[in-house]
Amino acid sequence: MTTGKNVLIGIGGGIAAYKVCQLISRLYQTGVSVQVILTEAAQQFITPLTVSTLSRHHAYTDLEFWQNSARPLHIELGEWADLFLIAPLTANTLGKLAYGFADNLLTNTVLASGCPILVAPAMNTDMWEQPSVQRNWELLQQDQRYHVLEPTGGLLACDRAGKGRMTEPDQLLRSVQSLLYTEGKRDFLGKHILINGGGTQEYLDPVRFIGNPATGKMGSAIAQAAIDRGATVTLVHGGHTEIPLIPSPRFRLISVISADEMYEAMLAHFPTADYTMLSAAVADVKPAHYSTKKLPKKEIPNCLPLTSVRDIAATLGKEKQPQQTLVGFAAQTGDFVKPAREKMARKNLDYIVANPIDRTEGGFGSDDNQCIILGKAGQEQSIPLCSKLQLAHYLFDLIS
């Protein structure tokens, strides 16, 4: 998704600047060419030598901006970039960007560029909550060039607990990779995408359950891709595995444990969904009886009575309206295409993603996947091993 791409990073003056160093290193390792602009304030926290060493490129400051050159530096950098990341975005730079001011290399390069811009603010909670800062934040988002990662809550460097932490390098990397793929297009703008992900756990007693190894990485990747393509996303995530929250005002996470809880959550949000993606590994059965107290080992029956859980995909397939698109997933071993095609027809799905989980790479818990995407109109697209984020974008390309 990223090999051969150019990412320009503007670093603002804040303690969160240290996080960007890890991102620069990881981007370089994935084949991205990275160049960096440091504001004057940023150099109080990290040095040009640090980022130039990590990026393998000269780090630019305002000193170079005011020097004579054959062609203006901000024009060269603006034309070079496929994506412009500004992190940490300070209150000062936010105000300049919101109103189109340009008084240094970073802000001049913004105006001289045409690529998508990803911004990740970081500041003290009281600063972030100032009405003037919030007005600037809302104004900035009216410009379709800007993609935003809202600050998160936690303990700040000033010892204040609250919202203002810059998003972590892992999330920065996912967002950068996703936007490099989409080139900033928002082809799902105004659409509501409902996703389920992870596994479900069906409890026999308070400490024992029937479950599966699903981690929710595929559902999380679909949510990330959808957010970056302009959609509003509701992700119903099952099991106890934690997944990274996407710091976007258009993302909602609903955590559930059992198949019954997931069933209720999916049906509640399905009527407003334009696209529904069923990537969760939902249990087919559950213990017929639940004990509120831990069962002694000797009381666990050798033959455990089971009962079926309600079928989410089949129910949604019956309730689906003509304007809605329903996409299922089928994790299979052996001949994985035929059962997936039968499932698609049986449950009235528009598409199904057939996953071979018995191969050495991909499947449960992996960052990668491979599949064949089938459509009810006869479409069949084979997707070789790739990241789950890239697979999510391939899927959106197909259904769009």
Residues catalogued as catalytic: 158
CA-CA distances (angstroms) from residue 261 to 18, 258, 266, 282, 349?
41, 5, 9, 11, 22
The SS3 assignment for 244 reads: coil
Here the tokens at position 131 are 């009405």
- 334: which 2 tokens? 């052996």
Q: How far apart are CA 92 and CA 252, in angstroms?
A: 29
Q: How many residues does the chain have?
A: 400
In sequence order, the β-bridge partners of residue 275 are 193, 325
What tokens appear for 148 in the block? 């935003």
The DSSP bridge pattern shows strands 83-89 and 117-121 to be: parallel
DSSP letter assigned to residue 231: -
Whether residue 322 is preceded by a cis peptide bond, meaning omega within 30 degrees of 0, is: no
CB atoms within 10 A of CB 334: 8
Cis peptide before 88 (omega within 30 of 0): yes
DSSP, residue by residue, 49-106: HHHHHHHTSPEE-HHHHTS--SS-HHHHHHHH-SEEEEEEEPHHHHHHHHHT---SHH
Q: Which two tokens stand for residue 264?
A: 């209720």
